[in-house]
Amino acid sequence: MSIELRHFRCFLAIADTLNITRAAARLHLTQPAVSRTLRQLEQGLGVRLVDRSTHHLALTPDGVAFRDRAALAVTAFDRALAHPHDTTWPLRLGHAWSAAGARTPALLRRWHEEYPETPLELLRIDDRTAGLARGDVDAALLRGEVRTPGLRTAQLTTEPRVAGLPADDPLARRRTLTLTDLADRTLALNTVSGTTTLDLWPPEARPAATLPIGNTDDWIATITAGRAIGVTTSATPGMHPHPALTYIPLTDAPPVPVLLAWREGPGHPRIPDLVRLAREVMGSPAADTHTPDAPGADYRRSS
């Protein structure tokens, strides 16, 4: 039996819902048809993708690894058919939060001036690779370490870290803070696309508790509600100001690398131009690397 695109779509529906009934409803198929299609895919690949029992369904390690490859194939197929008569090929640039920071307008304007025939579409996608690994974008602006196989990166710059505090917090009156100043607080952690983990602190001086959240909007809402404090980079104050949120520079936290990432192999022909322009705008001529080997101003704001 040959593997077809319908097998990929079926698996992705199961991977997204982790439920055969909901996957069947999404695909407008019967549950037996979905189960049968999944079995055919697993037999064709020679691996088990889904661990399923009466009360449990989860992706196997092979299923997790295959999910991004399947999504990439489906996205490429759909995109090829979407605009068959359109001579333009937009360049989709993903980001999970803050894009290029304060330099975002300059990057977009420079691109439009130099490459008006190729629209640059900036897309926020709450994902570790901002949709790049799944094929939702052609390139992505990412922060922190990128370990996803199959990606290449160019480091553009680094950004100092800042603390995010409720504007009425006593620490919000300070001009600078240290990580130790935050050790007795609850820390809001963006577990989907954030760059902050408890490893930022020494084991004996870590925040008292953590509050996992999934995106920048929830991170801001959690802090402004007084439920937690946060740590982010200097790009966030300019891109996400809030009247109830104050950003204070951290003097002893290591800076965060800002990377432009793209997939290995064939891709959008304008990616080399984007790398060059992003380096010019954001200021670092660092050499690009394979990701598996990849290793202050006053930002106080309560606007």
Single-letter amino acid code for the residue at 205:
A
State residue 288's pLDDT score. Answer: 40
Residues in Cβ contact with 127 at an 8 Å cutoff, skipping those fewer than 6 apart: 94, 96, 133, 134, 136, 192, 193
Nearest to 67 by CA among 126, 130, 135, 19: 135
Residues in Cβ contact with 21 at an 8 Å cutoff, skipping those fewer than 6 apart: 31
- pLDDT by position in tens, the chain (length 303): 689 889 999 999 999 899 999 999 999 999 999 999 999 999 999 999 999 875 778 999 999 889 888 887 887 787 767 665 555 789 999 999 999 999 999 999 999 999 999 999 999 999 899 999 888 899 999 999 898 888 999 999 999 999 999 999 999 999 999 999 999 999 999 999 999 999 999 988 899 899 999 999 999 999 999 999 999 999 999 999 999 999 999 999 999 999 999 988 878 999 999 999 999 999 854 434 433 333 234 444 443
Can you list the alpha helix ranges (DSSP code H) found in 97-211? 104-114
Buried b (16+ CB within 10 A) or exposed e, 8-22: bbbbbbbbeeeebee
State residue 82's pLDDT score. Answer: 64
State residue 299's pLDDT score. Answer: 47
Rounded CA-CA distance 196/219 in Å is 12
State residue 85's pLDDT score. Answer: 55
Rounded CA-CA distance 271/138 in Å is 8
**Helical packing angle, 5-17 and 20-27, nearest 10°:** 130
CA distances from 280 to 191, 235, 268, 283 (A): 31, 17, 20, 5
The answer to whether residues 138 and 91 touch, using CB atoms and an 8 Å cutoff, is yes
Q: What's 129's DSSP letter? A: T
CATH code linked to domain 5-82: 1.10.10.10
Domain ranges of the chain: 5-82, 91-157+256-293, 159-249
Residues in Cβ contact with 212 at an 8 Å cutoff, skipping those fewer than 6 apart: 189, 191
CATH architecture assignment, domain 91-157+256-293:
3-Layer(aba) Sandwich (3.40)
State residue 280's pLDDT score. Answer: 95
* 159-249 and 91-157+256-293 share a CATH fold: yes
Record: fold of 159-249: D-Maltodextrin-Binding Protein; domain 2 (3.40.190)
